């Protein structure tokens, strides 16, 4: 293949447990990918080294020389300084003040753009997935926590230090469960995957979720989204009720966001939604109707995300190609 004169972009998804680099051509067709585990326990330098190797591997696999590389976009966890290209604090990675943009630019000799990971995923769905053509797109990605993003008239809504749209920390219950952020009653403390797992473990311990008890005991670590979906299929009624209530509560919170941002599309993604899309969409739509104004409910479509794990790398690559906005 003659790659002379063509432009290529790297989209990078930096997670707390794994990372992925994908090479895209100018029309954002994937050319090759490389994945690796994130060696958080080996310290920041090891993680940085692994990032460099993973990108180099993907470039090699795609046969893209450095001179054909136009830019790198990175979806990052944590609190960012977008102007400086620094990860200020990423508890998942054990990082503080890591100048990731400068490091990557030095290694690969190209412009680098950082974005919040959920923002990158939302932007990916906006450009290439279920959110195409939206005037106002809200993306909600329930995983261990619940992340959110918004593309308004073609641009990501952002705060001073990176991401806005912390929908996981919207208050939904006065004096509700304690959240990782130190407040009580945040959406993610009540309806994130961890909150669901904790409630499911309680039920399993009481003997009310036999499939879960047999396959995960009462260990939260083992209660991933896929297992929850299997337990529901196997007839664990308590698990179904817990998941449905959580999704409905998330829908109620999204309804509040609809009242604020009046989106035309809400995209739902993330592990929990991928494991049980029908149930999740049904309950979110029903919760949303409980709280969103009737005139706004009429205008909004609630859709399943289309790109899965590729949303973040595609979005990050597109942001890099567009200079970071």
Q: In this chain, which stretch among 5-13, 98-106, 165-173, 226-234 interacts with a copy of itself, using CB under 8 A?
A: 165-173
Q: Give the N- to C-terminal CA distance of the chain in Å, as an integer.
A: 32
Q: Residue 311 CB, nearest distance to a copy of itself (Å)?
A: 20
Q: Is 294 in the site for a copy of itself (CB under 8 A)?
A: yes
- Residue choice 47, 55, 142, 169 for contact with a copy of itself (CB under 8 A): 169
Residue 50's φ and ψ, nearest 5 degrees, are -65, -35
The dihedral through the CA atoms of 146, 147, 151, 157 has a sign that is positive
- Residue choice 23, 157, 200, 247 for contact with a copy of itself (CB under 8 A): 157
Q: Mark out the alpha helices in the chain (DSSP H runs).
A: 44-61, 100-108, 117-128, 187-191, 193-205, 210-216, 225-233, 237-261, 271-275, 277-291, 294-299, 310-321
Q: Is 40 in the site for a copy of itself (CB under 8 A)?
A: no
- What is the bridge-based pairing of β-strands 146-152 and 155-156? antiparallel
Identify whether the C-beta of residue 88 lies closer than 8 Å to the C-beta of residue 81.
yes
Tokens of 231: 């337990």
Binding to a copy of itself in span 253-282, by CB under 8 A: 253, 255-257, 259-264
- Residue choice 68, 167, 242, 281 for contact with a copy of itself (CB under 8 A): 167
Tokens of 19: 């990372």
Q: In this chain, which stretch among 105-113, 160-168, 266-274, 316-324 interacts with a copy of itself, using CB under 8 A?
A: 160-168
Q: Is 248 in the site for a copy of itself (CB under 8 A)?
A: no
d(C-alpha 246, C-alpha 229), whole Å? 14
| Of residues 39 and 185, the one with the C-beta less far from a copy of itself | 185
Q: Is 116 in the site for a copy of itself (CB under 8 A)?
A: no
Q: Residue 149 CB, nearest distance to a copy of itself (Å)?
A: 11
The dihedral through the CA atoms of 137, 142, 143, 145 has a sign that is positive
Q: Is 178 in the site for a copy of itself (CB under 8 A)?
A: no
Binding site for a copy of itself (CB under 8 A): 79, 135-136, 148, 150, 152, 157-161, 163-167, 169-174, 181-183, 185-186, 252-253, 255-257, 259-264, 290-291, 293-296, 299
């Amino acid at each position: 293949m003659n790659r002379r004169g063509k432009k290529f972009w790297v989209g990078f998804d930096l997670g707390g447990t794994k990372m992925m680099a994908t090479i895209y051509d100018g029309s954002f067709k994937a050319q090759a990918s490389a994945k690796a585990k994130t060696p958080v326990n080996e310290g920041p330098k090891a993680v940085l080294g692994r990032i460099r190797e993973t990108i180099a591997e993907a470039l090699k696999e795609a046969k893209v020389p450095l001179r054909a590389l136009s830019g790198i976009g990175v979806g990052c966890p944590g609190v960012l300084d977008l102007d400086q290209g620094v990860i200020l604090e990423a508890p998942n990675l054990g990082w503080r003040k890591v100048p990731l943009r400068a490091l990557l630019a030095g290694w690969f000799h190209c412009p680098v753009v950082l974005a919040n990971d959920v923002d990158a995923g939302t932007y990916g769905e906006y450009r290439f997935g279920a959110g195409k053509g939206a005037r106002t797109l809200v993306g909600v990605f329930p995983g261990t926590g619940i992340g959110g993003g918004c593309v308004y008239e073609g641009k990501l809504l952002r705060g001073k230090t990176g991401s806005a749209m912390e929908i996981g920390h919207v208050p939904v219950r006065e004096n509700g469960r304690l959240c990782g952020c130190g407040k009580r009653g945040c959406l993610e403390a009540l309806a994130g995957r961890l909150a669901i797992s904790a409630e499911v473990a309680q039920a399993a311990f009481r003997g009310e979720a036999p499939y879960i008890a047999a396959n995960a005991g009462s260990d939260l670590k083992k209660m991933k989204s896929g297992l929850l979906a299997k337990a529901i299929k196997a007839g664990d009624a308590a698990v179904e009720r817990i998941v449905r209530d959580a999704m409905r509560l998330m829908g109620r919170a999204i309804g509040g966001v609809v009242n604020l941002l009046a989106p035309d599309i809400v995209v739902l993604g993330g592990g929990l939604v991928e494991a049980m899309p029908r149930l999740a969409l049904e309950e979110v739509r029903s919760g949303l109707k409980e709280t969103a104004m009737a005139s706004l409910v009429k205008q909004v479509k609630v859709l399943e995300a289309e790109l899965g794990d590729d949303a973040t790398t595609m979005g990050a690559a597109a942001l890099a190609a567009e200079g970071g906005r």
